């Protein structure tokens, strides 16, 4: 029996990277996949094809997750196309790093809007559907810096801390309706973003990780399957760090 058979998952910002890995892993477990990204370009189309090849229903939707009105429309469309939304992953995210002394209002606003407001937009639109279904699993993609902070990333760390508190609050509000909400806090994950770092900086990072390697997107996807599925039916309001032990 596949862990997510017959469920519909909606994942934001999943044309590439961690979101795409989650979409593929969920599809392997039998879930139908609705995903969003700013545009469904070659990346998005390729993601659709790869998921389709796994024998589930899939559709990519172009939408800006930071836009409240667009999110309402896209969620209604997904609900119409798929009939249910059982799993929501708030994954879309950006960085606009800089030390606080030099951070501009635009850097702050953009990161809070895309990383944190987007999750409000999607949870607000999806909750009524999950309430009617009397069940669902919400996963916010946070970061270890949302737990521990990080110099040069005040905006990003604050947005990720917000995602954690948001998951805990939702968990308390709607637990009685069978809806769970948790956060994943990835550490140093090997993606396009981290591949751009110079070798010596990467080596320094890896030295601080007890498991002595960077994380793979699959490491995050495995934990997401656990949180999305009934395997975690008594787990809510938690933040799971997936960081090779980098922060304890
Ligand atoms: P990525 O940049 O490869 O993928 C993010 C996706 O979100 C892209 O496809 C992008 O087009 C999309 N996106 C950006 N703004 C959007 C918007 N306004 N509306 C809809 N989609 C939008 O990033 P990656 O590495 O896959 O990260 C995914 C999530 O995991 C992010 O929330 C990130 O903060 C988080 N994360 C990543 C870590 C890493 O080491 N890569 C570590 C900790 C957390």
User: DSSP letters of 146-187?
Assistant: HHH--TTBHHHHHHHHHHHHHHHHHHHHHGGGTEEEEEEEE-
Chain centre to alpha carbon of residue 241:
13
Which atom number of ligand 1 is nearest to the Cα of residue 93? 32
* pLDDT beyond 90 at 232: yes
Which one is catalytic: 35, 108, 156, 188? 156
What's this model's pTM, rounded to 2 decimal places?
A: 0.98
| Pocket lining: 141 vs ligand 1, CB cutoff 6 Å | yes
pLDDT at 197: 82
pLDDT at 106: 98
pLDDT at 41: 97
- Nearest CA among 38, 40, 37 for reference residue 19: 37
Q: Across the strands, what pairs with 233? A: none
pLDDT at 192: 79
| Pocket lining: 19 vs ligand 1, CB cutoff 6 Å | yes
Which atom number of ligand 1 is nearest to the Cα of residue 192? 3
- Percentage of the chain beyond pLDDT 90 is 94
At 1, is the pLDDT very low, low, confident or very high (cuts 50, 70, 90)?
confident
Q: Give every CB contact of residue 28 below 8 A, 6+ residues apart in sequence.
A: 2, 54
| Pocket lining: 121 vs ligand 1, CB cutoff 6 Å | no
pLDDT at 108: 98
Q: On the CB side of 140, how many CA atoms lie within 13 Å of its CA?
A: 35
At 29, is the pLDDT very low, low, confident or very high (cuts 50, 70, 90)?
very high
CA 239, CA 164: separation in Å to the nearest integer? 7
- φ, ψ (nearest 5 deg) of residue 179: -105, 130
At 233, is the pLDDT very low, low, confident or very high (cuts 50, 70, 90)?
very high
* pLDDT beyond 80 at 193: no
Which atom number of ligand 1 is nearest to the Cα of residue 39? 11
pLDDT at 196: 79
Helix 17-28 and helix 42-52, axial crossing angle in degrees, nearest 10: 20
For residue 210, give the 3-state DSSP assignment: coil
Q: On the CB side of 184, how many CA atoms lie within 13 Å of its CA?
A: 28
As assigned by CATH, the class of the 8-188+217-236 domain is alpha beta
Report CA-CA distances (Å) from 144 to 103, 164, 185, 229. Answer: 21, 10, 5, 23
61 is catalytic: no
The predicted model gives 202-208 an average pLDDT of 91
Chain centre to alpha carbon of residue 237:
15
E strands present in 14-149: 32-37, 58-62, 87-90, 136-141
Report CA-CA distances (Å) from 26 to 87, 89, 126. Answer: 10, 11, 19
* Domain segments of the chain as ranges: 8-188+217-236
| Pocket lining: 224 vs ligand 1, CB cutoff 6 Å | no
- Helix (DSSP H) and strand (DSSP E) numbers for the chain: 10, 7
Substitution site in 12, 13, 22, 24 for ligand 1 pocket (most atoms within 8 Å of beta carbon): 13
Q: Are 183 and 167 in contact (CB under 8 A)?
A: yes
pLDDT at 24: 98
At 148, is the pLDDT very low, low, confident or very high (cuts 50, 70, 90)?
very high
* pLDDT beyond 80 at 187: yes
pLDDT at 54: 98
């Amino acid at each position: 029996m596949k862990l997510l058979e017959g469920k519909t998952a909606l994942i934001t910002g999943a044309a590439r990277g961690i979101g795409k890995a989650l979409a593929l892993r969920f599809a392997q477990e039998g879930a139908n996949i609705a995903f969003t990204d700013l545009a469904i370009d070659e990346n998005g189309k390729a993601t659709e094809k790869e998921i389709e090849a796994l024998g589930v229903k899939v559709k990519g939707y172009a939408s800006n997750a930071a836009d409240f009105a667009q999110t309402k429309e896209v969620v209604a469309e997904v609900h119409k196309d798929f009939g249910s939304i059982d799993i929501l992953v708030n994954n879309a995210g950006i960085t606009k790093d800089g030390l606080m002394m030099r951070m501009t209002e635009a850097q702050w606003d953009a990161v809070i809007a895309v990383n944190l407001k987007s999750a409000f937009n999607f949870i607000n639109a999806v909750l009524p559907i999950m309430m009617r279904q009397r069940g669902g699993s919400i996963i916010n993609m946070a970061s270890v810096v949302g737990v521990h902070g990080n110099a040069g990333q005040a905006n990003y760390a604050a947005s990720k801390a917000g995602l954690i508190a948001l998951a805990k609050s939702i968990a308390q509000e709607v637990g009685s309706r069978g809806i769970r909400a948790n956060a994943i806090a990835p550490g140093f994950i090997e993606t396009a973003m981290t591949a751009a770092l110079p070798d010596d900086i990467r080596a320094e990072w890896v030295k601080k990780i007890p498991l002595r390697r960077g994380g793979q997107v699959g490491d995050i996807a495995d934990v997401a399957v656990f949180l999305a599925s009934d395997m975690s039916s008594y787990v809510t309001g938690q933040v799971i760090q997936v960081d090779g032990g980098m922060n304890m």
